[in-house]
Amino acid sequence: MRLNQKVALVTGGAAGIGKATVKRFVEEGAKVAFCDVNKEQGLALLDEVGSEHDFQTVNVIDRDAVQGWVDSIAKKYDQVDILVNNAGILRDGVFVKVKDGELVKQMSEDSFDSVVAVNLKGVFNCTQAIAPYMIKQNNGVILNASSIVGLDGNFGQTNYIATKAGVIGMTKVWARELGRSNIRVNAVAPGMILTEMVLSMPKDVLESFKKRPPLKRLGTPEEVANLYLFLASDEASYISGEVIRIDGGLVIGT
């Protein structure tokens, strides 16, 4: 019961790593408020974890909706202790492709802007909405979803990498700015994790991914959720401003 009597907010909480985090936090005693754009999946998870928790359909790019969500949770539970900025999307594509001296393909502006809006601006929106509550109570934990590609780069992910590197930068700034109010801010950088999206890949692609990390397997959403749990708990009370990889040693194995 490491999160007993804590109130945790999780964005993108209806599936994948977000869902695993919601369930893990519930197991450890937290009251969990989670949001997602997928109402059907969100309500199904709420039914699973129990009505003492909270689900709302919120798009993190909508500042007014985010503020309304945070305000409603603070009013309902009279505290906000943990924020997990998990919501994110992919719109992969090559930056530019030139054939015979002619440009034949490039990442679209819409693909860039949509990923930035969710993965970077969404983290900004949610954190800015909740920070005043945490400052007032002089306590809080903010956990941001980055990625190993935000540290190392990856082919075909200019937009995604820009956001995940940006999240690392914001994590560092907020750890400095909010630390004086006893608020810890950290980022988690997962490698290849067996989410629904990854599992939908062709079998041969999935098998090739499994061979890359030295541990010779992909991670699970539950393993990432366990890292979030540790960082959210008092066991990590002196850890702030860090980016923690969870990748099975992928980089040293490539």
Three-class DSSP labels, 137-191: HCCEEEEEECCCHHHHCCCCEHHHHHHHHHHHHHHHHHHHHHHHHCEEEEEEEEC
Q: Quick one: pLDDT band at residue 198, thresholds 50, 70, 90? A: confident
Residue 33 lies in a domain: yes
Res 253 pLDDT > 70: no
Over residues 84-126, the pLDDT tens digits come to 999 999 898 999 999 999 999 999 999 999 999 999 999 999 9
User: Using CA atoms, how far apart are residues 122 and 65, in angstroms rounded to an integer?
Assistant: 11
Q: Is residue 204 part of a domain?
A: yes
Residue 182 identity (one-letter amino acid): N
What is the span of the domain harbouring residue 212? 7-253
pLDDT for the residue 108: 95
Q: Which of 90-104, 127-141, 226-240 shows the lowest mean pLDDT across its residues?
A: 90-104
160 is catalytic: yes
Q: Is 1 a domain residue?
A: no
Residue that wins the pLDDT comparison between 195 and 116: 116
Catalytic residue (one of 77, 133, 160, 238): 160
Percent of the chain with pLDDT over 90: 83
Buried residues in 195-225 as b, exposed as e (16+ CB within 10 A): beebeeeeeeeeeebeebbeeeebbebebbb
HSE (side-chain half, CA atoms, 13 Å) at 32: 31
Sorted by sequence, the CB contacts under 8 Å of residue 111 that are 6+ apart come out as 91, 93, 159
What mean pLDDT, rounded, does the chain reach? 94
254: pLDDT strictly greater than 70: no
Domain for residue 2, yes or no?
A: no
Question: Does 55 reside within a domain?
Answer: yes
> How confident is residue 156, by pLDDT bands cut at 50, 70 and 90?
confident
pLDDT of residue 209: 79
Residue 161 has pLDDT above 90, yes or no: yes
Q: Which residues have a Cβ under 8 Å from the Cβ of 29 and sit 6 or more positions away?
A: 1, 2, 3, 4, 5, 6
- Residue 40: inside a domain, yes or no? yes
Q: Look at residue 145 and tell me if it is in a domain.
A: yes
- How far is 50 from 18, CA to CA, in rounded Å? 17
How many domains are contained in the chain? 1
Residue 250 pLDDT exceeds 90: no
- Residues 136-150, mean pLDDT to the nearest whole number: 96
Which pLDDT score, from 0 to 100, does residue 146 have?
97
| Amino acid at site 135 | I
Is the confidence at residue 252, as pLDDT, over 90?
no
Residue type, 244: I
CATH number at residue 88: 3.40.50.720
